[in-house]
């Protein structure tokens, strides 16, 4: 009797996962640090029950000028499963984005996306769900999936979802949105939708003024700190700005574990415009993975 791992589709996803978890060039530095940091914050929150309350996002935060919450809410989670599924979902798209676009650039994108989603979430929440709070990093997953869906749609009009169902490439984040909502009805439909919109905005290049500092600032800082950067173990890959800036936001035909393209390996193409890339967001109901 053949084992589950003998299934070609399952085998393909296992190989992809191994490539992301143990890449030959080293684990992308920011992805590695963010993973450790989220785990660390969760451990601290077990002993400090005020941490989640102090870092969560709620609609009144915008109007009370508690603006630090705009970047802290993706860092806290309400339970182990909430953290685990967010980490598993975030690792592959974030690692791929970092490899393509640089470590510092990805850090800027991570924070800018959090803010861009938080503002409309607070505005809508003020009128429709004022007593709701939100925490977690799952919205970032939707943003990165939306980004890759747009960039890959420039070459591949359709993809095979889960290796079987052919759908328009641009529709992948919306299919994922529906699947998550069906499996977890009290997850944040509104917040995840805002995450998708943020990912498309990123892919269009409209965030470039916020994520690409002028006068080659990142390159200059990295050049100044190159001795410290060179001390990073080879198992951890720090992607320098100078190595990726010219090829940033190219379609590279690398499939995420969620879906695959049939003609992977074709030469990359550049997006037609310079493009510059969110937590369990929640409308009425509960945050994914929490009973709050």
pLDDT-based confidence at 256, cuts 50/70/90? Answer: low
Residue 18 lies in a domain: no
Tokens 């410290």 map to which residue?
228
Active site residue 45: no
Contacts with 279 (C-beta within 8 Å, 6 or more apart), sequence order = 73, 74, 86, 114, 134, 135, 136, 137, 138, 139, 140, 191, 287
273 or 206, greater pLDDT: 206
Residue 276 lies in a domain: no
Residue 230 lies in a domain: yes
Judge whether residue 38 has pLDDT over 90: yes
139 or 245, greater pLDDT: 139
Segment 67-76, tens digit of pLDDT: 999 999 999 9
* Backbone torsions φ then ψ of 239, nearest 5 degrees: -95, 115
Judge whether residue 254 has pLDDT over 80: no
Q: Which of 45, 138, 143, 255 is catalytic?
A: 138
Tell me if 218 sits within 8 A of 105, measured CB to CB.
yes
Residue 291 lies in a domain: no
Judge whether residue 284 has pLDDT over 50: no
Closest CA to 207 of 116, 134, 136: 116
Residue 183 lies in a domain: yes
- pLDDT of the residue at 212: 87
Segment 145-183, tens digit of pLDDT: 999 999 888 888 888 877 777 889 899 999 999 998 888
DSSP for residue 57? B
pLDDT-based confidence at 264, cuts 50/70/90? Answer: very low
Range of the domain at 87: 24-270
Judge whether residue 257 has pLDDT over 70: no
Residue 88 lies in a domain: yes
**Relative orientation angle of helices 189-204 and 138-153, to the nearest 10 degrees:** 40
- pLDDT of the residue at 36: 97
> Which of 6-15, 30-39, 137-146 has the lowest average pLDDT?
6-15
Split into its structural domains, the chain has a count of 1
Judge whether residue 247 has pLDDT over 50: yes
Beta pairing, strands 236-237 & 27-28: parallel
CATH number of the domain encompassing residue 144: 1.20.1540.10
Tell me if 189 sits within 8 A of 181, measured CB to CB.
yes
Active site residue 114: no
Residue 292 lies in a domain: no
282 or 153, greater pLDDT: 153
Residue 11 lies in a domain: no
pLDDT-based confidence at 58, cuts 50/70/90? Answer: very high
Q: Which of 192, 237, 255, 286 is catalytic?
A: 192
User: Bridge partners of 28?
Assistant: 237
Instruction: Give CA torsion, residues 99, 105, 106, 108, to 10 deg.
Output: 180
């Amino acid at each position: 009797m053949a084992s589950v791992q003998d299934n070609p589709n399952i085998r393909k996803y296992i190989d992809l996962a191994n490539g992301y978890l143990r890449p030959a060039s080293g684990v992308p530095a920011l992805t590695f640090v963010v993973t450790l940091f989220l785990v660390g914050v969760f451990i601290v929150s077990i002993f400090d029950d005020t941490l989640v309350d102090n870092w969560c996002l709620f609609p009144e935060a915008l109007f009370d000028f508690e603006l630090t919450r705009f970047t802290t809410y993706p860092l806290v989670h309400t339970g182990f499963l909430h953290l685990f599924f967010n980490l598993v979902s975030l690792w592959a798209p974030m690692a791929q984005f970092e490899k393509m676009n640089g470590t510092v650039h990805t850090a800027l994108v991570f924070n800018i996306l959090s803010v861009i989603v938080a503002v409309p979430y607070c505005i809508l929440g003020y009128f429709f769900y004022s007593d709701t709070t939100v925490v977690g990093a799952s919205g970032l997953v939707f943003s990165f999936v939306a980004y890759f869906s747009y960039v890959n749609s420039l070459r591949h009009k359709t993809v095979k979802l889960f290796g079987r169902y052919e759908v328009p490439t641009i529709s992948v984040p919306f299919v994922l949105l529906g699947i998550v909502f069906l499996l977890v009805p009290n997850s944040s439909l509104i917040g995840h939708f805002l995450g998708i919109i943020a990912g498309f905005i990123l892919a269009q290049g409209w965030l470039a003024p916020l994520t690409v500092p002028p006068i080659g600032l990142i390159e200059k800082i990295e050049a100044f700190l190159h001795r410290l950067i060179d001390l990073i173990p080879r198992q951890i890959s720090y992607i320098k700005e100078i190595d990726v800036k010219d090829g940033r936001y190219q379609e590279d035909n690398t499939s995420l574990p969620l879906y695959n393209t049939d003609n992977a390996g074709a030469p990359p193409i550049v997006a037609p415009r310079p493009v510059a890339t969110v937590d369990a967001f929640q409308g009425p109901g509960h945050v994914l993975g929490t009973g709050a």
